[in-house]
Amino acid sequence: MKSAQAWRGGMKDMQILPAPRHRAHLKKPTWIIVLVSLVSMFLVCAYVYPPHNSAACYVFSSHGCKGLSNWLPPAPARELTDDEIASRVVIKDILNTPRTVSKSPKIAFLFLTPGPLPFERLWDKFFQGNEGRFSVYVHASKDKPLHFSRYFINREIRSDKVVWGKISMVDAERRLLSNALQDPDNHHFVLLSESCIPLRNFDFVYNYLMYTNVSFVDSFEDPGPHGSGRYSEHMLPEVEKKDFRKGAQWFTMKRQHAVIIMADSLYYTKFRDYCKPGMDGKNCYSDEHYLPTFFHMLDPAGIANWSVTHVDWSEGKWHPKSYRARDVTYELIKNITSITESIHVTSDERKEIQIRQCLWNGNEKPCYLFARKFLPDTLDKLLHLFPNYTRI
């Protein structure tokens, strides 16, 4: 008994060592850490150094640059310059001013031509019986035209030399607008060339333009060499590359939009100085970029983003298709006037086709009221077809 107690006492004095623990060997998830690190670096680089061409954009996203911008964090807002603040205050005030409707609102038709107007007799038919609902202004940059219609006599404004692709083209447009704005009854403004013809009767055109809630200014994003490839960083900070747009110059616009063009000097100056042939080794044409970019930046919801003047670029050349007498048929006009979608094609290697439904105050409507490039030899056929095709 005593020996058993002594054994227990001895056990108390002994140091009891814990049994060794067997831990399972844990593998570090090295491959996960490496993968997460690479993806993080990839995203940081994409944010800090965004891709500058459409091909690089498709590496990041199957939807191109637009898809990439949707999931990248928004860039911090840039602080506006003093000139930008002053310009935007004036433009915003003009756009927010309630429109005054005169008792006899008119459409101003602005003809930009180097000389004679080969379709003056056709326009005479178009205007007949609608006196008091329109006005005519002619900018003849080379030769003073000899007129056959009473609607065009003494309607020339002071004109200056116009060189294709240079700012003088925009200057001529502004000169036409400033003259037409002197008449407070002019509520809508249509820019036309000497090769333009009307596709509808006057009532259709008048109602289409006077009762719309937008201006028909063509504007789209082209990431290719003939779009944003023409951009110059000299336009910074006021005009950024992401806002640079392209479009046909043949607009129709509301009076408020015509006024803000006259009020603008900041953005006009940027395009005058840095969007011209040979700039930075590239050919930039201000008449294709100034107004599309200007309205995209300052009133994007106020424009339709397509022109109501049809032109056919299907031949894929530097200039659109020209129509000769043999091309002019009732079916041709009918086909043009039945188009309800506006199509743009980018100039990058993908040749992306951008299709926009033509909506008039939210409702689908035919896109086009006018068409160009018709050659002078088409006049007789057009005069013969005019009473029929304008009833389409």
Confidence band for 30, pLDDT divided at 50, 70 and 90: confident
Q: Report yes or no: 55 and 349 within 8 Å, Cβ to Cβ.
A: yes
More reliable by pLDDT, 384 or 54: 384
- The tens digit of pLDDT for each residue in 203-217 reads 999 999 999 989 999
| 76 upstream amide cis, omega within 30 of 0 | no
What's the whole-number mean pLDDT along residues 296-308? 97
Q: Of all residues in the chain, what percent are helix, strand and coil, respectively (each to 5)? A: 40, 15, 45
Residue 10 has pLDDT above 50, yes or no: no
By the 8 A CB rule, do 358 and 342 touch?
yes
| pLDDT for 388 | 78
Mean pLDDT of 128-148: 92
Which residue did the predictor score with more confidence, 323 or 3? 323
Whether the CB-CB separation of 311 and 248 falls below 8 Å is answered with yes
Residue corresponding to tokens 């692709």 = 165
Helices marked H in 101-213: 120-127, 167-181, 202-210
Selected residue with higher pLDDT from 330 and 42 = 330
Enter the tokens of residue 271: 């395009």
pLDDT over 70 (residue 158): yes
Measured CA to CA, the distance from residue 378 to residue 258 in angstroms comes to 32
Query: Beta strand 353-357 with 341-345: parallel, antiparallel or unpaired?
Result: antiparallel
Q: What is the per-residue pLDDT for 18?
A: 46
pLDDT band, residue 42 (cuts 50/70/90): low
pLDDT beyond 50 at 266: yes
pLDDT on residue 78: 81
Predicted pLDDT of residue 389: 78
Each residue's pLDDT tens digit, 44-82: 555 545 554 544 454 444 455 555 455 555 666 788 999
**What's the mean pLDDT in 127-153?**
93
Mean pLDDT of 336-360: 95
Query: Which domains can be identified in the chain, with CATH numbers?
Result: 82-96+103-305 (3.90.550)
Residues β-bridged to residue 184: none
Higher pLDDT, 86 or 281: 86
pLDDT of residue 187: 97
- Tell me what pLDDT residue 74 has: 62
Residue 377 has pLDDT above 50, yes or no: yes
CA angle (364, 369, 372) in 5-degree steps: 130
* Tokens encoding 196: 């333009």
Predicted pLDDT of residue 145? 83
Q: How many residues does the chain have?
A: 392
What pLDDT, on the 0 to 100 scale, is given for residue 387?
84
Helix and strand numbers, DSSP H then E, in the chain? 13, 15
**The pair of three-digit structure tokens given for residue 345, joined into one six-digit string:** 């094609």
Query: If you write DSSP's letter for every residue of 231-265 in order, what string do you get?
Result: --GGGTTTS-GGG--B--S--EEEHHHHHHHHH--
